[in-house]
Chain A
């Protein structure tokens, strides 16, 4: 037999570790060197041994650690062992995380992207008040690290619901039509993320394919079928053209997302300061989402230094009908939440509309300050007040 005799996973980086496995028939030898070895040497060894035991591994395992938590150590060991071709002993059970399913209508002003291969990021991710946290397995992860990253994400979901606070926890998987996507679902679905973010959707069938696969995996894992929500992303010309059917393609859909970077690349568009080049596409996505009765999620704003630019971009999205935006740094969260918040005067006016309608006692049309108020006006006021109240609840919860 040829091939490598040593299998590596992870990195010697902050809150991470590098696991190196040399297969062998002898009883497993574990060597640990750690920057926190005086305090956690035994814990690291125990976590590595427990993970290796799930695979009945023999040979040599060496861990070079810089403060990785136990779940990270376990994930890196597992990735090295699986890379070496070992498989999990059938008896080895997995913890089933106790996590409530999310609801389609929940507040989603911000979805915070966490590159899936940086284990220092999730620990405090729940502290910043993002409505959703999105562990990314797609664009932020290099192809050679995809396998180890999906294991890390699974172990994170299995063992650390506590990291996410009151935020919804979602995973962006790789496209099902390309490599990695199916393996991502297989790994992640049993760990019960509340939502999956589906990149590069170009047709209703793309979403339906995810739906079938996720349903199959939910059933196999003994989970309620249909509990994991979807957030499809349209980020190509074809996707934008089919936005309406994509938005309506699954009962799981909670929001339709727009991906500006890939969309620009697809059409060969340069980014303009006023974002005029994406105006129509954005508008189509917002319309499609509303038509399907789901949320509309705008693209991320990549420049974390440019607070004014982020605010302008968010307000532009809000004015087109978007209900949320992607963020790539926690400092962007407050800016986006502020931009989506209704103004005090606007809110006060809406409350007066609702009060007038309540006083009108079933009459369809009333007058307030000399202006006619009919059902559509009242409906808009009701949604605004509801939105403000759920934002207030979110602020208290965080």
Chain B
């Protein structure tokens, strides 16, 4: 059954449960735009005759009565409400109450609040997940509780799969902090404001049926209209779509961990020393405390040398908003606001631009925002001697995280820097081979740790510049040995043969197979 070995050396079966496995052939090996097969195109919709379409439904029951529901259907969600979201759990509970089973859930990400889905996985209401799995849902997948084969995709890869018809969505449920009765919607206003409403954009265009669920109904026309009412079939008004205190945090904080601060400082020295920091440069960094600290350290250097960045991409935080308003940053291209300041800025500042997965990350476009980046500062659960990165499974084999925009930012940017401590608790980050390949080393250039900086041999240019700048450049194998001297050499987790999830590269090629854990 081991039919092929892909370009990152992973053995893949020829097919799994009827799905033919298309191996990953290289980060940029997909057929060019002209040769790529055309997808089915946006779903055509029509209104019922002359006059105002009536889309507003009065209750969940009325909504579900009017929708076409069937066993095995695919239902999609977005994660802009993060851990405050109430709509995913509510929808699944109501579909389950109607006796539906074998559902495919296609969220852009899940959070701890969605651990409540696990009983529906156990009972067979949910058969598999396409998109992103986190926390207990990922754990349930790892221990084989899902009957079907799940698929993990990046934000760009998910958008591509929807366009290409590889992820047909029967029902898109779009939670919206602000919407009008026609279905136009945004995330900038209302008590549940979350910032951009970016991730559900492809779902709204391509899904068979589209529902907007809102707790902030406003008269037509709502503005701006991130989601276009012409794509929306029904609008349901509910008292609450979630808990605002868990949708965005009050403020996102820089780390206080001395080790993380040291890594952040090293990353900033790298960015400065290699000349990435120059007038008009652009960057993407995560919203974790260490990434924020690295951005703050880079900003200190910008201030000192009078350098301005053209734009920052990805998620927005109060820190980036501060830089934008200070004039150190020309624009924020935002897919997701993490704190109240970012929501305010996205609402008020024309230089704070709301993006979409296609525009930001789409591998099927003639370029995307990620391709305009000079620098992506990303994290990793593990990284191996070939610079392959794992962000999906922990070293003990449990599937606990989605890919997010990791692949897209890494592949798009001119320099992808992974920042990570050499070990977390006792678990080393640099491994001979990562447990799961989430991103190929082909597009990962640098690893910055508290004990040195390793540069991918593919990037001799960066290595030379880093050495010339007096940075502590070491071989990645030395970092692995340094970690092992402290932690000891870990045992390997044991897996069964049964695949439970595929990790797709953004072009649809399969990077790796996640197997059921043997405990």
Contacts and interface: CB of A to CB of B under 8 A. Distances in A.
Interface of A: 14-15, 35-36, 38-43, 66-70, 123-124, 127-128, 162-163, 329-331
Contact of B491 (A14, A41, A69, A162): A41
Contact of A40 (B259, B450, B451, B491): B491
B486 A162 contact: yes
B262 A128 contact: yes
Contacts of B490: 36, 39-40
A305 to B, nearest CB: 10
Contacts of A68: 426
Most buried by A among B258, B397, B450, B493: B258
B396 interface: yes
A39 B258 contact: no
Contact of A36 (B258, B261, B425, B519): B425
When A and B form their complex, which 9 residue pairs have the shortest distance between CB atoms, in order from nearest?
A: A67-B425, A39-B490, A330-B258, A38-B396, A67-B426, A124-B259, A43-B488, A36-B426, A38-B493
Most buried by B among A15, A41, A69: A69
A162 B425 contact: no
B487 interface: yes
Contacts of A39: 395-396, 426-427, 490-491, 493
B262 A127 contact: yes
A38 B425 contact: no
Contacts of A42: 491
B426 A124 contact: no
Main SS class of interface, B: loop
B450 A38 contact: no
Contacts of B427: 36, 39, 67
Interface residues of B, number: 20
Given A67-B427, A330-B261, 12 more contacts: A36-B490, A39-B395, A39-B491, A42-B491, A69-B426, A69-B486, A123-B486, A127-B262, A162-B485, A163-B486, A330-B258, A331-B258
Interface in B392-439: 395-397, 425-427
Contacts of A163: 486
Interface string B220-235: 0000000000000000
B270 to A, nearest CB: 16
Nearest to B482: A162
Contacts of A36: 396, 425-427, 490
Nearest to B261: A331
Nearest to A123: B486
A366 B488 CA distance: 62
Contacts, number: 60
Contacts of A124: 258-259, 262, 450
A43 B427 CA distance: 13
Contacts of B262: 124, 127-128, 330
Given A68-B426, A124-B450, A40 B486 contact: no
A36 B425 CA distance: 9
A121 B426 CA distance: 13
Contacts of B519: 38
Interface of B: 258-259, 261-262, 395-397, 425-427, 450-451, 485-488, 490-491, 493, 519
Contacts of A69: 426, 486-488
Given A69-B487, A124-B450, A14 B425 contact: yes
Nearest to A38: B396
Nearest to A396: B470
25 contacts: A36-B396, A36-B490, A38-B395, A38-B493, A39-B395, A39-B426, A40-B488, A40-B490, A40-B491, A41-B491, A42-B491, A67-B425, A67-B426, A69-B486, A69-B487, A69-B488, A70-B488, A124-B259, A124-B262, A124-B450, A127-B259, A162-B485, A330-B261, A330-B262, A331-B261
Contacts of B451: 127
Contacts of B491: 38-42
B482 to A, nearest CB: 9
A35 B485 CA distance: 20
Given A39-B493, A162-B486, A15 B397 contact: no
A109 to B, nearest CB: 17
B74 to A, nearest CB: 33
Contacts of B488: 40, 43, 69-70
Contacts of A331: 258, 261
A66 B424 CA distance: 11
B267 to A, nearest CB: 15
A66 B425 contact: yes
B426 A128 contact: no
A330 B491 CA distance: 33
Nearest to A47: B488
A335 B157 CA distance: 46
Nearest to A39: B490
A329 B426 contact: no
Nearest to B517: A38
Nearest to B519: A38
A35 B258 contact: no
Nearest to A14: B425
Nearest to A15: B425
A14 B425 CA distance: 7
Most buried by B among A35, A38, A128: A38
Nearest to B491: A39
A366 B395 CA distance: 70
B300 to A, nearest CB: 13
A70 B262 CA distance: 25
Most buried by B among A15, A39, A40, A67: A39
Contacts of A35: 425
A118 to B, nearest CB: 13
A69 B485 CA distance: 11
B266 to A, nearest CB: 10
B319 to A, nearest CB: 18
A123 B483 CA distance: 11
A40 B486 CA distance: 13
A386 B285 CA distance: 43
